[in-house]
Amino acid sequence: MLFKRLGIDLGTANSLVYLTGEGVVLNEPTVVAVSIDDNRVVAVGNEAKEMLGRTPGNIVASRPLKEGVIADYVVTEAMLRYFLDKVCGKTRFFKPEVMICIPAGCTQVERRAVMDATLSAGARTVYLIEEPLAAAIGAKIPIAQASGNMIVDTGGGSSEAAVISLGGVVVHHSVRVAGNRLDEAIGAYIKKKFNLIIGERMSESVKIQIGDAMPKASPKSSLRKMEVRGRDSLSGLPRMIEISSDEIAAALENPLQNIITGIKEVLENTPPELASDIIDKGIVLSGGTALLTNIDKLIMEATGVAVHVSEDPLLCVVRGTGVALENIDLYKRSIARR
């Protein structure tokens, strides 16, 4: 084939690119640094993430996607062009075919923005696939069968719960609460309790290292602790504190309850026949937030349904997007094209 075919998981926190025939070829943070003086893109991905909260006045490092959808069109287009150039080369005779996944609950305007940005970045044809569907394909769930499968995809910007049967989404609910909201909750908790202001990257680091969805799930002796550095909100001087996984579980309680409410709403609206299938098979978790310690136990306790974390939850959506692109005829009913 003369042109390349790419599957892109355009996430709020990380963007991944799948090249058909090769697999996942790119995994970088969804961060872009822009120069204010001439509106020029200075850095994208890992390089730009290093700049978050550390830039001089004339450079702004930001995330162009908020809650799973495009918040800054121009910057998103520049980022997509960077990804296409990196995977396909800057000089290309044939434009690539691109499939991008989008949240199931996004509006027609948000869908069009993704398509237009991808075409402007240099794509030949753009396909859109809904995130829960892509996650289910990537998690190797047999979605084509006439039985109900429930997937919960919790990424950086939004959490999507969906019931899938016969290759399509039957019921879905999107909650714009996910990994980024958990980071914010940790930052707010530490500021309120310890009068310490910490940055976005430190909040994320705390979540990854000692984050826990359930307080006192383990004996006191096994509590994980971590040193957190930031700026004292009263004196304005740098300060360091020690925080435990139990305290982080308390900080995460509210946003996690919002995610659980979304899951329950989907279960309440699921047809009885499919609900019985879900009791047999359980709920599958995918996305980066699925890696949070004990989140599967918390959801299982709240819903009474078995919960399984998929293999490689971070890569589920992008792998599913790539598989759908390679077998486009099988999934054409569930895909929008332009």
- Flag whether 206 is marked binding: yes
**The dihedral formed by the CA atoms of 237, 243, 247 and 253, expressed in degrees to the nearest 10:** 70
What are the structure tokens assigned to 84, written together?
């296409």
- Flag whether 218 is marked binding: no
Distance in angstroms (rounded) separating the CA atoms of residues 208 and 74: 31
- Flag whether 105 is marked binding: no
- Flag whether 155 is marked binding: no
- Flag whether 154 is marked binding: no
Q: Which helix (H) or strand (E) holds 179?
A: helix 179-194
Pick the closest to residue 252 from 294, 224, 311 (CA basis).
294
115, 23 contact by CB (below 8 A) = no
Neighbours of 221 (CB within 10 A): 5
Q: Quote the strand ranges of 176-237, DSSP E.
A: 196-197, 225-232
- Flag whether 32 is marked binding: no
- Flag whether 158 is marked binding: yes
Q: With the C-alpha atoms ordered 294, 298, 304, 307, is the resulting torsion angle positive or negative?
A: negative
- Flag whether 35 is marked binding: no
- DSSP assignment of 107-159: -HHHHHHHHHHHHHTT-SEEEEEEHHHHHHHHTT--TTSSS-EEEEEE-SS-E
What are the structure tokens assigned to 37, written together?
């003086």
Q: In 35-72, which residue ranges form alpha helices assigned H by DSSP?
A: 46-49
Binding-site positions: 12-14, 156-158, 204-207
Binding-site positions for ATP: 12-14, 156-158, 204-207
